Structure 1
Amino acid sequence: MISPALAHIPTPLAQERLPQHAPLAVQTRDGIIESVHYGSAIATAADGRILLAAGEPLAPFYPRSALKPLQAVAMVRAGLDLPDELLALTAASHSGAAAHRDGALRILNLHGLTPADLENSTDLPYGAREREDWLGDGGQPTQLAQNCSGKHAAMAATCVINGWPVRGYLDPEHPLQRLVAQTVVDLTGEDPQRTTTDGCGTPLFALTLRGMARAFGRLAAAGGSNGGAEAVVARAMRSNPAMVAGEGRDVTALMRLVPGLLAKDGFEGVQLVGLPDGRAIAVKVSDGGDRARMPVTVRLLAALDVDTSPLDRLAAIPVLGGGRPVGLLRATEFLAAPSSFPQTSNASDDL
């Protein structure tokens, strides 16, 4: 008997067409390939042209937390005005360190709100060290500790700024979420192919890797007083990479090691990167695992002639046997010619 939780799924999985992913990374152990990570990836030019690709980058996927910078742009467009470190937290999947929890609380306090106004799920801190310290101090799952609390605090604050109801701010028909949806279409150049609910409770859109790459290219290339909300969000993230993720996190390291780079990860093996010249990278690892995401990203950066020499520890991860290296997790030579992919998007012409 099918679980009641799955009863809403209309089609048996065996009848669905699976994306045609490509082998993006392999783990070896003493010369034998032990594991293969399949997925899709893309690199785009500032004008949205496909430069490099692998797998099926035009298949719909859920960007998960990689959507947060786009949500932050929507909120800045709606009048959200925060110090850079708090705006970076708005776009964060944070580790749950004291600076992250206190930052989310500051956003609430600045707008006359309390943690009781948050509508995200409860959780322990995401970072391993932060979670261990939290539990050691007797901590329990809370909404502030959950990795999306900065975004949710900012969403509630944006409602206060605009006179919108705070209660129910996650409803897809709420003015805030309608604005987010419009902003996603604007930045990606795509109409979402489906809408669902993310783990923290916010509406989540099915897009393509090309659309998400286009959005990150726009954010990363925006600059100066004419860059609008995109420039404001990009500046905040670049200047506060530890607020976007946390100490010891690869996204934080990536932004620190490559000047001008903008990066955000997402659950289920998603990575987005924007470069100051408007080029961008999007990666989706098909098995949802996290470990292949960064080696694949570094491989794409190298293919775009970005100096990846500072990224060696992110590009190849040692495999240990008895405490000594016996293999590597590294990217394959997965890139394909862009001529096999159409260059147009599915966005409506009038949006």
Structure 2
Amino acid sequence: MAAAPVIREPRHAPVAHVVRGGLVEGVHYGSVLVLGAEGEVLLDVGDTEAAFYPRSALKPVQAVAMVRAGLPLDGELLSLAAASHSGEEEHLDGVRRLLGEAGLTERDLRNVPDLPFGAEEREAWIRAGRTPSRLAQNCSGKHAAMLYTCRVNGWPLEDYLDPGHPLQRAIAATAEELTGQRIARVSVDGCGAPLFAVSLRGLARAAARLTTAPAGTAEARVADAMREHPETASGSTRDVAALMRAVPGLLAKDGFEGVQVAALPDGRAVALKVSDGADRARVPVAAAALEWAGVDGDALKGFTGTVLLGGGRPVGAVSAVPPLPAPGAAG
């Protein structure tokens, strides 16, 4: 296993331009790594070796650790265990089912109360006069699965978020195994769960380990669940679900602060971090990285640029900048 990635201010590079009326109005910086099927580096932009927090992009790895520890899920509910869900009714019902199967309720959750992540769902929630809840928070599926895993193993429930808890130690060990490197630092994610700092190279390697794992393994079960139920892992109108639908066999997971990881069935993988956390840059940069990985550009047409409006009509776009556009693609 490799040493922990170095902790430093990341040496990010320009990855996306904000172009309005033919003028570069802004620049998004970040780092991008593309790995080939044998783990070879196809593209390395910015600082892909520095330690960073992958945020929710690490949820598939957390789900693998839980399945290894006996979490008895597959399919839709396992996808929900790795989800940053939008708070649609099917997501909330799924979390209730997870808790019910473990003999638990929403009161046992220790994630922070929040409004639904999806814009439409949030507005409907507020119109109905509802207040923030642990169930609605986008990580509630992961937290319900953590509690279920604790119940299966007879581990304490009250402190399941403590980094020293048996569950969190198991997750940390799995993260180190799949990324192939020691964890650089442990902090706390927005939902309250432990957050592990790795590198983009480690994150890409972990995603490839999931998509190339033998059938029936915990890695393959998580990858299959998310690919078969992309809307459960995110939301029916979310870009990450649309990306998995557009690219056959793709496993993709986003994370707060401009993080994206994706891997193909043969092990080709991409991982990226947009420095300022902008989603409007994450999507086109991810599409450009996937094209570098060999994904057909036709499948990515709907993801290559975030449209900018002026007076209600398109006047520009946020798009990836060289060297990100794949060889032969329009710059």
Give the TM-score, by structure 1 length.
0.89
Asked if residue 314 in structure 1 is aligned to residue 314 in structure 2, the reply is no
Q: 1:246 aligns to what?
A: 235
Distance 1:119 1:37 in 2: 35
Would you say the 8 A contact 1:46–1:218 is kept in 2?
A: no
Aligned match for 2:171, one of 180, 196, 199: 180
Structure 2: how far apart are the matches of 1:17 and 1:59?
6
Q: Are 2:285 and 1:296 aligned?
A: yes
Q: Name 1:171's counterpart in structure 2.
A: 162
Distance 1:138 1:32, change over 3 A: same
The answer on 1:18 being equivalent to 2:9 is yes
Aligned to 1:274: 263
CA contact (8 A) 1:299 1:331 kept: yes
Whole-angstrom distance in 1 between the partners of 2:9 and 2:157 = 40
Mark the CA change 1:255 to 1:141 in structure 2 (over 3 Å): closer, same or farther: same
Residue by residue over 1:221-270, the C-alpha shift from the partner in whole angstroms, topping out at 9 and shown as x without a partner, is 22423xx1000000100000000110110000000111100000000000
Q: Distance in 2 between matches of 1:133 and 1:335?
A: 39
* Letter paired with 1:73: V
Spell out the pairing of 1:1-351 with structure 2 (5 A cutoff): 18-225=9-216, 228-335=217-324
Shift of 1:49: 2.7
Identical amino acids, percent of aligned pairs: 58
Contact residue 23 and residue 334 of structure 1 kept, 8 A? no
Which deviations, in whole Å up to 9, do the C-alpha atoms of 1:2-27 show, x marking residues without a partner? xxxxxxxxxxxxxx953211100001
| SS, match of residue 280 in structure 2 | coil
Letter of the 1:318 counterpart: V
* Contact 2:42–2:292, Cα closer than 8 Å, also in 1: no
Q: Deviations over 1:24-62 (max 9, x none)?
A: 000111110011000000011344332211001101100
Q: Is 2:74–2:221's contact at 8 Å kept on the other side of the alignment?
A: no
Q: How many pairs does the alignment contain?
A: 319
Deviation at 1:335, TM superposition (A): 4.4
Checking the alignment, whether the CA contact within 8 Å between 1:170 and 1:203 is kept in structure 2 is: yes
1:59-115 alpha-carbon deviations (Å, 9 max, x no partner): 110000001000000000011112410100000000001111110110000010111
CA–CA distance in structure 1, aligned partners of residues 208 and 37 of structure 2: 6
In the alignment, residue 314 of structure 2 is paired with which amino acid? P
Q: Within 1, Cα distance between the matches of 2:173 and 2:210?
A: 16
> CA contact under 8 A between 1:86 and 1:107: conserved in structure 2?
yes
- Using the alignment, how far apart are the partners of 2:122 and 2:299 within structure 1? 29
Quote the offset at 1:325 in angstroms. Answer: 1.2
What is the CA distance between 1:317 and its match in structure 2? 1.6
1:291 partner SS: helix
Q: Distance in 2 between matches of 1:152 and 1:48?
A: 32
Distance 1:118 1:47 in 2: 41
Checking the alignment, whether the CA contact within 8 Å between 1:26 and 1:331 is kept in structure 2 is yes
Q: Give the aligned residue type for 2:71.
A: L
Matched to 1:211, the amino acid is G
What amino acid does structure 1 have at the position aligned with 2:76?
E
Q: Which amino acid aligns with 1:314?
A: F
Indicate if the aligned counterparts of 1:62 and 1:207 stay in contact, CA closer than 8 A.
Answer: yes
Distance 1:151 1:17 in 2: 30
* d(CA) in 1 for partners of 2:49, 2:226: 27
| Other structure's SS at 1:27 match | strand
Give the CA deviation at 1:150. 0.1
Q: CA deviation at 1:319?
A: 1.2
Asked whether the 8 Å contact 2:8–2:51 carries over to 1, the reply is no
Paired letter, 1:113: L
Name the TM-score, length of structure 2 as normaliser: 0.94
In structure 1, how many angstroms separate the alpha carbons of the residues matched to 2:39 and 2:208?
A: 8
Structure 1 contact 28–35 (Cα < 8 Å) conserved: yes
